[in-house]
Amino acid sequence: GAGHAYVQPVSGVVANLAMYTARTRPGDTMMCLSIPCGGHISMGKEGMGGTAGAVHGLTIEYWPFDEKRMNIDVDAAVKKLREVKPKLALFGGSVFLFPHPVRELADVAREVGAYVGYDAAHVSGLIAGGQFQHPLREGVDIMTCSTHKTLPGPQHGMILCRRELAEAVNRAVFPGVVSNHHLHSMAALAVALAEMMEFGREYAAQIVKNARALGRAMYERGLDVLCPDLGFTSSHTVVVSVTKYGDGGEIEKKLESANIILNRNLLPWDIREGRNYKRPGGIRLGTSEVTRIGMKEREMEEIAEFIKRVVIDGESTQRIAQEVSEFRKDYQKLHYCFDSAAEAYEYIALKKF
């Protein structure tokens, strides 16, 4: 649904900064998610060193948030849009369990003079694979993303937008925020995009199946997985409250010592309950990488069991680390990709001509 795509941003943060540069001026107001509710640091206020506030000088207002459903509160958001009248209404974020209500809010944003943006850094591969919402078809003007999460390419960035915004976006990137677009990553990005065209639907579908299966498996083992009544997630991400067993920083380190890599994560209520980003109440898990190496729902049961043994049972992380390494030995091949660079470039050439 994009009229224009631009691949020169060198990261998702740079893509966001270019979006701010193209459509806002310092002192304008942007509405977005707060960081505890899933927003990215590139959306942050000046006082926290966020890109939007500290670098571009935007005034930040937050979307009203439904903590139970882990999503933007539509009715409250309509009211706040009309009160605040932002220049940019930004959807998307870093904790992104369910599609955001773009279709419900885009027209209201335009009524008050706002452009509509969408940070798809975490879900761009799911969007490309037809397993998430379609932001540009639902009313988004500009969509930014990184290219190394659910879109499994090199560390880079990308912007997609309506055709009439192409010139402003291009100039915001160069000469605005990029002088060298890291040409060495372009071939890898081309291959990753070709692989998404060929294998993306199957890959994205399995990512979401695995995330739901992992959420359910952890929940059945006694972990406090968020949003059980909504199926835990509609994306690649699962979020767990771990305050019964410690804090997210402590649990993150324990699991890392057991060869299970995930990250601590703020929960929407953490700040008011006295927690902080170093010692938050949650952990965040994603299934894009384990899916890429061939794991499916059955393996999510095994992963959940490893996590339960560390977090709930308090078993020796050294012993579990050995078991995890043994488990991982059976998954050494990448899936949903071309077998060789030559095959990838041949595919690109065929699509081009």
Residue 6 has pLDDT above 80, yes or no: yes
Mean pLDDT of the chain: 96
pLDDT at 109: 98
pLDDT, one tens digit per residue, over 30-40 is 999 999 999 99
From CA 171, how far away is CA 159, in angstroms rounded? 12
From CA 219, how far away is CA 240, in angstroms rounded? 9
pLDDT, one tens digit per residue, over 80-89 is 999 999 999 9
| Band of pLDDT at residue 229, cut at 50, 70 and 90 | very high
Identify which has the larger pLDDT, 94 or 343: 94
Distances (CA, A) of 270 to 231, 247, 265, 275: 23, 11, 10, 5
Residue 346 has pLDDT above 90, yes or no: no
pLDDT at 353: 47
From CA 174, how far away is CA 181, in angstroms rounded? 9
pLDDT at 351: 66
From CA 91, how far away is CA 99, in angstroms rounded? 10
**Which domains does the chain show, CATH number per domain?**
4-181 (3.40.640.10), 199-328 (3.90.1150.10)
pLDDT at 256: 98
Residue 199 has pLDDT above 90, yes or no: yes
